[in-house]
């Protein structure tokens, strides 16, 4: 190698290093952009109502307090009693939506992935069609439908509605996972003595675990965060889910910012926990080698 080539190589390395650093700075900026609101949410939740309104703002509260959180989880107070109720409502609606979505989506996605039947493409398109419209388009029709079914002011109306969003996405996601599982694995199992169903249960299902987990997370978060339908279909206080329920921190006269922030912080905990617990399986399962391609 000549000296010139060597210096050219060094320049190239330096150049690559420069790119790496600018990449890191960009990521750091992006991280700040996404994390800052959450940090600010947490800081505000530790303030008193007075401190929250001060100008210039306190970057860290002079007298941090957990009072806002105690209020939320104290079942003897008004706020606490309602908040706990909303919380359970949300857990119940989101969990049931997720379970139903997965139970229906797993066989549906498997069928779309493995079988060739008349109308298959049309049906798959029809499944996705629902997700091509903004949610609000269906608000009034669905409300009329729910009213006719006598489901207004029940959690059933929300679960059914969330399934119409969650299910197509779940089917679509899971189909992708099944498409990537070689059909020969099932064929091998069937020759090895399994029925078609056993082959699915013992071989394919375990391999699609990451897909099922990803699908569950998506559908849970979708249901957990949903606001507009919950706001429209439910009028009774004891039925409300968290996104609607925490509206009560806004009032005509003043907004209880620290209370609101504490509630939203609490609301984000289940989702974060879900992600942290499941991501381990998620990553492990994704890196599992299946067959030689």
Partner 1 sequence: MAQVILKDVVKNYGDVYAVNHVSLTVEDGEFVALVGPSGCGKTTTLNLVAGLIPMSGGTVSIGDRDVTDLDPKDRDIAMVFQNYALYPQKSVYKNLAFPLQMRKLPKEEIDKRVQAAAKTLDIVHLLERKPRELSGGQQQRVALGRALVREPRAFLMDEPLSNLDAKLRVQMRSEIKRFHQDLNATIIYVTHDQLEAVTMSDKMAVMNGGFLQQYDSPANVFANPVNMFVASFVGSPAMSLVPLTAASKDGRVVLTGPEGWEMPLSDANGRKALSAKSSKVVLGGRHSTIKVHKSQVPGSVPGKVYTVEPTGDVTFAQVFVSGAVVNVSVAPTFQLRPDEPVFLEFDQDRMHLFDGETEMALRLQ
Give the length of the chain: 293
State which residue, 139 or 207, has the beta carbon closest to partner 1. Answer: 207
Give least dist CB 174 to partner 1, A.
18
**In the window 195-234, what residues touch partner 1 (CB under 8 A)?**
195-196, 198, 203, 206-207
Give least dist CB 291 to partner 1, A.
4
Instruction: State yes or no: residue 132 binds partner 1 (CB under 8 A).
Output: no
State which residue, 95 or 190, has the beta carbon closest to partner 1. Answer: 190
Using CB under 8 A as the criterion, what x/- string covers residues 178-197 for binding partner 1? ----x-xx-xxxxxxxxxx-
Instruction: State yes or no: residue 29 binds partner 1 (CB under 8 A).
Output: no
Interatomic CA distance for residues 219 and 162, integer angstroms: 8
Looking at the chain, list the stretches that DSSP marks H as alpha helix, in order from N- to C-terminal side. 3-45, 49-52, 67-73, 78-114, 120-129, 139-148, 155-179, 183-191, 196-199, 205-207, 209-225, 228-233, 242-245, 257-287
State which residue, 92 or 282, has the beta carbon closest to partner 1. Answer: 282
Contacts of 221 (CB under 8 A, 6+ apart): 271
Instruction: State yes or no: residue 111 binds partner 1 (CB under 8 A).
Output: no
Whether the CB-CB separation of 283 and 79 falls below 8 Å is answered with no
Instruction: State yes or no: residue 282 binds partner 1 (CB under 8 A).
Output: no
Whether the CB-CB separation of 140 and 228 falls below 8 Å is answered with no
State which residue, 119 or 141, has the beta carbon closest to partner 1. Answer: 119
State which residue, 135 or 202, has the beta carbon closest to partner 1. Answer: 202
Give least dist CB 193 to partner 1, A.
3
Instruction: State yes or no: residue 7 binds partner 1 (CB under 8 A).
Output: no
Give least dist CB 186 to partner 1, A.
9
Instruction: State yes or no: residue 118 binds partner 1 (CB under 8 A).
Output: no
What 224-228 contacts at long range (C-beta under 8 Å, 24+ apart), as own/partner pairs, is 224/90, 224/94, 224/267, 224/270, 224/271, 226/158, 226/162, 228/135, 228/136, 228/139
Tokens of 262: 């504490």
Interatomic CA distance for residues 260 and 68, integer angstroms: 9
The binding site for partner 1 (CB under 8 A) comprises: 182, 184-185, 187-196, 198, 203, 206-207, 288-293
């Amino acid at each position: 190698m000549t000296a010139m080539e060597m210096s050219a190589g060094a320049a190239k390395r330096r150049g690559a290093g420069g790119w790496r650093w600018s990449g890191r700075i960009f990521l750091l900026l992006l991280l700040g952009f996404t994390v800052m609101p959450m940090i600010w949410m947490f800081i505000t939740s530790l303030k008193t109502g007075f401190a929250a309104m001060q100008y210039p703002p306190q970057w860290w509260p002079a007298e941090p307090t957990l009072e806002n959180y105690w209020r939320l989880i104290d079942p003897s107070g008004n706020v606490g009693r309602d908040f706990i109720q909303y919380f359970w409502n949300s857990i119940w609606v989101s969990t049931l939506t997720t379970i139903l979505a997965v139970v229906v989506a797993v066989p549906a996605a498997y069928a779309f992935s493995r079988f060739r039947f008349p109308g298959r493409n049309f049906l798959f398109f029809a499944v996705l069609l629902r997700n091509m419209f903004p949610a609000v388009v269906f608000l009034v029709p669905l409300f009329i439908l729910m009213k006719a079914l006598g489901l207004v002011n029940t959690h059933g109306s929300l679960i059914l509605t969330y399934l119409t969003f969650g299910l197509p996405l779940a089917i679509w996601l899971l189909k992708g996972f099944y498409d990537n599982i070689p059909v020969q694995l099932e064929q091998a199992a069937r020759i090895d003595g399994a029925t078609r169903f056993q082959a699915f249960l013992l071989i394919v299902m375990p391999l699609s675990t990451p897909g099922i987990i990803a699908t569950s997370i998506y559908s849970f978060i979708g249901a957990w965060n949903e606001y507009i339908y919950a706001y429209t279909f439910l009028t009774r206080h004891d039925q409300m889910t968290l996104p609607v329920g925490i509206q009560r921190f806004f009032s005509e006269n003043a907004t209880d910012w620290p209370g609101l922030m504490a509630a939203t912080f609490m609301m984000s905990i289940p989702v974060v926990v879900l992600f942290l617990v499941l991501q381990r399986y998620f990553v492990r399962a994704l890196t599992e080698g299946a067959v030689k391609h």
